[in-house]
Amino acid sequence: MTATIIDGKIIAAEVRAEAKVEVEKFVSLYNTNPCLAVVLVGENPASQVYVRTKSKMAKEIGMDIEDHIKDKDISEKDLIDLIAQLNNDKKVNGILVQLPLPEHIDSRVIIDAIDPIKDADGFHALNVGRNSIGGDLLKKSFVPCTPLGCYLMLKKNIPNLAGMHAVIIGRSNIVGKPMAQLLLEESCTVTTVHSKTKDIETITRQADILVAAVGRPLMVKADWIKPGAVVIDVGINRVENPSDTSKTMLVGDVDYVNAMSVASAITPVPGGVGPMTIACLLRNTVQAAFRQKISKI
């Protein structure tokens, strides 16, 4: 078997095109562009790249972007004050605080300071709670961008996910936990495995859908995968290039080359989940802009 490649670049372009249509609708109705405020603290190179890419993609669909770049030594209080200012700014529809934050700042305090209706990342406790309850409350919440991207890619390949066994490797608040909730909502049987799980391979081999979100290069070997499974690789790991050690390259959490002969479909790295995350951020932001016109939360 050779797996079908699930091309995140193509699906992300579709999500961005849909978001662009919504932006145009918003502009014609309200005579102002939806606006995303991005807060970046410190000089983490990966975060700087993400923030630049977000700005570029947002501008391409007609969304305004405000970058708030802050020194790594900013106090928690000053950051909370900035969030309060963005919450009160009518021009700002979405707020994203790039994670990770420096250690002296409690990320949970900062995230929960964001007005939930401007929480483009879907990380605020109210949105997390609504996502967990599911049902109609999903319409009022924002779903975190990376698991939403994975979900949209899965649904493109398998419109009816009910009854499938989904195994998620990783239990982070950004990916693993919200991914599990989205798949439960689709009536999957969901198992989450993590660093303390015993004999992970035995569990992953039962997965019809395998989502790897651990940040460990090439951890998932071909013999961890059930033949015919759909594999979503969230990992983006920079490693030394074996054919030229002076260079680096990006690899996922899955041993992609060997997994190709076992899985029925798989996302590549790069070009899989990565582009979907930003596309879903734009989608969430324009949704937030519309919701702010009709309700408080």
Q: Find the catalytic residue in 115, 118, 119, 121.
A: 121
Residues in contact with ligand GUN, counted by CB under 6 A, come to a total of: 9
Q: Is 127 in the site for ligand GUN (CB under 6 A)?
A: no
What's the min distance (Å) between Cβ of 225 and ligand GUN?
Answer: 25
Are the CB atoms for 203 and 226 separated by under 8 Å? no
Classify residue 280 by burial, with Cβ atoms within 10 Å: 0-12, 13-18, 19+: buried
Going by their DSSP bridges, the two strands 244-251 and 4-5 should be labelled as unpaired
Looking up tokens 């076992």, which residue turns up?
262
Q: Residue 233 catalytic?
A: no
For ligand GUN, give the closer residue by CB, 33 or 146.
Answer: 146
Q: What is the Cα–Cα distance from 144 to 173, expressed in whole angstroms?
A: 9
Q: For ligand GUN, which residue has the nearest CB?
A: 99
Residue 47, SS3 per DSSP? helix
Give the torsion through C-alpha atoms of 78, 81, 85, 88, to 10 deg.
Answer: 170
Q: Find the catalytic residue in 54, 118, 177, 226.
A: 54
What's the min distance (Å) between Cβ of 279 and ligand GUN?
Answer: 12
Q: Residue 98 catalytic?
A: yes
Are the CB atoms for 117 and 296 separated by under 8 Å? yes
Q: Residue 208 catalytic?
A: no
Out of 113, 114, 174, 266, the residue judged to bind ligand GUN by CB under 6 A? 174
Q: What is the Cα–Cα distance from 232 to 212, expressed in whole angstroms?
A: 6
Strand partners of residue 74: none
Q: Is 250 in the site for ligand GUN (CB under 6 A)?
A: no
Out of 11, 96, 180, 193, the residue judged to bind ligand GUN by CB under 6 A? 96
For ligand GUN, give the closer residue by CB, 26 or 142.
Answer: 142
What residues make contact with ligand GUN under the rule CB under 6 A?
96-99, 121, 145-146, 174, 277
- Catalytic site positions: 54, 98, 121
